[in-house]
Structure 1
Amino acid sequence: MITVSTDGSCLRNPGGAIGWAWVNHDGTSASGGARSGTNQVAELTAVLEAVLAHPGDEPLRVVADSQYAIKCASEWLPGWRRKGWRTASGGPVQNLGLVQAIDRAIAERTGPVTFGWVRGHTGDRFNERADELAGAAARAARDGTLPAGTMRETPVLEPVGAAPVRRARTTTSTTARTPSRRTGTAPATRSRRPEPDALF
């Protein structure tokens, strides 16, 4: 199984520069950002980039410290799709373009994708590395110093029912200096956050 930790960063929520990052537990990683966004956009972008960067038959597990991102990509997404990309109250799904892109990326991947939650800032080295990379990418996006190919336009809300547009993507990868080792991750747990309709 491929295990990848993701994280997002927003320097001033909402509207500040954002950064996203994924860190494969084999040591490879990638990051990028955008000039403006929200913390939710950053977290969802990190998940999307992680899935797109790891195609193939091998099972993929995405681990994040954002329960919002995990629930969007797994628990809430099927219901939204069944309702024509509407919430239970009939309102539009927030960050719809990214949610639909994640849905498509999972569907197009030949191997299964699962998700797990890990508490942030508790010493998980992969989560800490993703946090560090996402923060650096957000600062670089703010300062206009992101490497070519890693800047993303802020995603826009797409019309309900519209298929997301797959944009050309390029990421940079690096190899971590620390040796690879598997670590356990806590299963996704029920958040005390409001249900999706209350959020959206």
Structure 2
Amino acid sequence: MITVSTDGSCLRNPGGAIGWAWANHDGTHASGGVASGTNQIAELMAVLEAITAHPGDEPLRIEADSQYAIKCASEWVRGWKRKGWRTASGGPVQNLALVQAIDRAIAERPGPVTFSWVRGHQGDRFNERADELAGIAAREARDGRVGPANAVTEVIPVVAVAAPARVLAEDTLF
């Protein structure tokens, strides 16, 4: 099983720079950011990027400290789809494009995707690493130094998620 921790960061909610990150428990990770968004968008971006970066048959478990992101991706989505992408009260689903992209990514992935909640800022080293990377990406986005996706650092070789902004050496993980 592949286990990945995700996190998002928003420097001023709403409307501030955001960053997202995932940290695979094998040591690989990626992050990125944009100049404006919300904390919920950042959390959903982290989940989406983690899923798309881990294709294949092997089961994928995503650990997140965002119950919102977990419930959007694994619980609420079923009801929203049945109701024509409307909430229980009949209103529009917030962050619909991201929720639908996550739903598609899970459906298209041959292996299963599961989610587990972890308490944030409580010493879980992978959650703390994802939090750190998301914060760095948000600050870099605020300062105009990062695009939508940084590089993925793998043990060997280095693989880019998109155009790499920078590569973090493996020895900087923990």
Give the TM-score normalised by structure 1.
Answer: 0.77
8 Å CA contact 1:34–1:138 kept in 2: the answer is yes
Structure-2 change in CA distance of 1:52 and 1:171 (3 Å):
farther
More helix by share: 2
Tell me the residue number matched to 2:84: 84
8 Å CA contact 1:8–1:19 kept in 2: the answer is yes
CA–CA distance in structure 2, aligned partners of residues 175 and 57 of structure 1: 28
Deviations 1:119-151 (A, max 9, x none): 0011000000000000000000000111x5628
Tell me the residue number matched to 1:4: 4
Tell me the residue number matched to 1:177: 171
> Where do residues 39-78 of structure 1 align in structure 2 (5 Å cutoff)?
39-78=39-78
Q: What residue ranges of structure 2 are gaps of 5+ in the alignment?
A: 151-160
> Where do residues 1-200 of structure 1 align in structure 2 (5 Å cutoff)?
1-146=1-146, 150=149, 170=162, 172=164, 174=168, 176-177=170-171
8 Å CA contact 1:6–1:130 kept in 2: the answer is yes
8 Å CA contact 1:27–1:175 kept in 2: the answer is no
8 Å CA contact 1:56–1:111 kept in 2: the answer is yes
Structure-2 change in CA distance of 1:149 and 1:8 (3 Å):
closer
Instruction: Name the SS of the counterpart of 1:7 in structure 2.
Output: strand
Instruction: Name the SS of the counterpart of 1:177 in structure 2.
Output: helix
8 Å CA contact 2:34–2:148 kept in 1: the answer is no
CA–CA distance in structure 2, aligned partners of residues 64 and 179 of structure 1: 18
Structure-2 change in CA distance of 1:51 and 1:175 (3 Å):
farther
8 Å CA contact 2:20–2:137 kept in 1: the answer is yes
**Paired-residue identity, %:** 78
Residue 88 of structure 1: how far off its partner (Å): 1.3
CA RMSD of aligned residues (A): 1.9
CA–CA distance in structure 1, aligned partners of residues 75 and 104 of structure 2: 15
CA–CA distance in structure 2, aligned partners of residues 179 and 125 of structure 1: 10
Deviating beyond 6 angstroms after TM superposition, the runs of 4 or more aligned structure 1 residues are none
- Kindly provide the amino acid, as one letter, of the partner of residue 170 in structure 1: A
Residue 176 of structure 1: how far off its partner (Å): 3.7
CA–CA distance in structure 2, aligned partners of residues 149 and 77 of structure 1: 25
Matched residues, number: 162
Q: What residue ranges of structure 1 are gaps of 5+ in the alignment?
A: 152-168, 181-200
Instruction: Name the SS of the counterpart of 2:71 in structure 1.
Output: helix
CA–CA distance in structure 2, aligned partners of residues 5 and 43 of structure 1: 11
